[in-house]
Amino acid sequence: MSQLNPTVSGPMTGTAVTPVAIPVRELAPWALFAALLAVVVTYFVGAEQGAFSLFAGSDVHEWVHDGRHLLGFPCH
């Protein structure tokens, strides 16, 4: 008679899995950072090189040109 391998588990025993609570106070700063980053990216894609441009020249416009069209911003 052969011995069973001790590393192999048997049938599932029906143990319950408890959900992990995500504390909102720890998540809030990261959510705020992500929202601020999204606003900055949207500004550079949508408004830079327009009436409110921060940088002279058309370098930023050329880098985000296809993104402007993809998101529906008119540029020419």
- Whether residue 75 is contained in a domain is answered as yes
The count of C-alpha atoms lying within 13 angstroms of the C-alpha of 31, restricted to the half-sphere facing its C-beta, is 7
**Distance from C-alpha of 68 to C-alpha of 46, rounded to nearest angstrom:** 6
| Cα 42 from Cα 40, distance rounded (Å) | 5
Evaluate whether residue 69 is within a structural domain.
Answer: yes
What is the number of structural domains in the chain?
1
Range of the domain at 67: 42-76
Q: Residue 36 falls within a domain, yes or no?
A: no
Over residues 20-37, the mean pLDDT reads: 92
Predicted local confidence at residue 1, as pLDDT: 52
Q: Is residue 35 part of a domain?
A: no
pLDDT in tens, 57-71: 777 777 777 877 887
- Residue 13 belongs to some domain of the structure: no
Position 22 in a domain: no
Question: Average pLDDT, stretch 7-17?
Answer: 68
Quick check: pTM over 0.85?
no
66 is a domain residue: yes
Helix (H) or strand (E) holding 61: helix 59-63
Query: Does residue 49 sit within a domain?
Result: yes
C-alpha to C-alpha distance for 46 and 73, rounded to whole angstroms = 6
Instruction: Report pLDDT for 27.
Output: 92
